[in-house]
Chains A and B, each alone.
Chain A
Amino acid sequence: MTLAVTYDLGSYVSENWEFLLRGLGRTLLVSAIAITGAFAIGAVLGAARAHRVPVLSQVAAIYVEVIRNTPILVQIFFLYFALPQVGIRLDVFTVAWLSVMVWGGAFNTENFRAGFEAVPFRFREAALALGFGRLRTFFNITFPIGGRIALPSSINTYIAVLKNTALLYVISYEELTTSAFQINARTLETLETLTVLGVVYLTLVWTLSASIRWLEGHLALPEER
């Protein structure tokens, strides 16, 4: 049996670009919401971990370990297919951004914890000596310096969040991967579909990775240059 393979990327893209672009838009939208949320979760819980805030620190530790040690696909399944059984019905868009945000938040908590803990103690000592309160010390010293130390690793987490949105295929949220495979189901142009997915994801991921390398050169603490 010979497989008739016609490969025509040009007409595939020209016929479906609007649909694909809408999918890409949803990928970017969900990623943007999740990344913003993951930043907030990471900053708050990372600070709680680094400063050993009672209760919150322990809760954050459990949250981090549970998310890091279970597959994100199982987390998506749990939110979308298991929660309705106990009366919590989330629509597909909510599950889409929530699942990748909760995942990214857990990894980001670790990134920020490490960043905050890496702030030299003498900096905080200096702030306290100048009469800063604990909260002002955090906002003026620990957060800007520690956040800067944590930036490369947290961007890595944001890249992973973006890549994880492809898993929303399982709940048929129409982001890029789902959209591309919907076209594929109609036209059976599998190779074109895969080419588009590969090129778009690699472009996004490689661009963001390049920004990390650029930032790493620019963000070193002045005394370490």
Chain B
Amino acid sequence: MLFLLPDWVEPVARYMLETGLRNTLRMAGFSLVFATVIGVVLGTLLTIKFAPSRWLIRLYIEVWRGLPVIVTLFVVHFGLTPLLGTRFEFSPLTSGIITLTLWGSAQIAEATRGAVQSIPREQHEASSALGFGWVGRHTYVIFPQAFRRLIPPLVSLLVGIILNTTLVQIIGGTELLESGEQSVERLNAIPPIGIFEIHAFEIYGAVAVVFFVMCFPLTRLAAYLERRLVV
């Protein structure tokens, strides 16, 4: 089947998958882990009835959920250096991970708050009676039960993160879409660099297909897990 394809396909596909897709997945993986950890901690802290900390966490959630992700990306990539100095100059991919961590942790914090509050009060009382402090109680008793409710939003978040990694294209990070754009431009160049042909339709179509193949099963999985949780 492969030999029926035109000659330009193989190197382009190789570049887009080995460099582009790899960076997309790496960004998504890091962002998911960081966002989950920060989101779970903030969401649990949000259940403490101490007004100042609640206001601060609320502000964090509302700001990073409220801003368009691309504006957050610009803040992280262009705003931190003039504000804090050149030590805070990040590569596009790092800026992407920081941005998606901020955005994702805001989503997870909100979900965690709901999940933790859904655990009946008796669980808190019983674990306190067994001698657990606040941290131990949440780590060993409350969170393991709340985590079940967090799984569907976490899968949805992964989809959101994968889709939003494309924003890094705008600041020049070589993720899947950017690797596609570079390939389109290269093919359109005059020989010997390119072959002076436009293949935007095939390449951007392929980018869409790759994202669909990754995200569609996850979307269905999230819907399935959510249904199973309700019953």
What residues of chain A have their CB less than 8 Å away from a CB belonging to chain B? 1, 3, 5, 65-66, 68-75, 77-78, 81-86, 163-164, 166-167, 169-170, 177, 181, 190-191, 194, 197-198, 201-202, 205-206, 209
Contact = CB atoms under 8 A, between A and B. Distances in A.
Interface residues of B, number: 42
Consensus secondary structure, chain A interface: helix
A64 B169 CA distance: 24
Contact of B71 (A81, A177, A190, A209): A177
Nearest to A162: B68
B200 A191 contact: no
Nearest to B218: A69
Q: Which of B71, B78, B208, B215 has most chain A Cβ within 10 Å?
A: B71
Contact of A201 (B68, B198, B203, B205): B68
Interface in B33-62: 62
Interface stretch (B79-87, B90-98, B137-145): B79-87
B127 interface: no
Q: Which of A74, A85, A177 has most chain B Cβ within 10 Å?
A: A74
A66 B163 CA distance: 12
Contact of A73 (B79, B85, B166, B184): B166
A205 B78 CA distance: 23
B224 interface: no
Contacts of B81: 3
B177 A73 contact: yes
A206 B62 contact: yes
B201 A83 contact: yes
B70 A74 contact: no
Nearest to B78: A190
Contacts of B177: 71, 73-74, 77
A68 B204 CA distance: 16
B82 A70 contact: no
A213 to B, nearest CB: 12
B159 A209 contact: no
Contacts of A73: 166-167, 169-170, 177
Nearest to A77: B204
A70 B213 CA distance: 9
Contact of A70 (B74, B200, B212): B212
19 contacts: A3-B81, A65-B216, A69-B211, A69-B212, A71-B164, A71-B166, A77-B204, A78-B208, A81-B204, A85-B199, A85-B200, A166-B68, A167-B68, A169-B70, A170-B169, A190-B79, A191-B83, A197-B71, A201-B68
B219 interface: yes
Contacts of A69: 159, 163, 211-212, 215-216, 219
B126 interface: no
Contacts of A1: 86
A163 B216 CA distance: 23
A183 to B, nearest CB: 13
B184 A201 contact: no
A65 B199 CA distance: 25
Given A82-B200, A202-B63, 12 more contacts: A3-B85, A70-B163, A70-B212, A71-B164, A71-B166, A74-B207, A82-B201, A85-B198, A166-B68, A169-B170, A201-B67, A202-B62
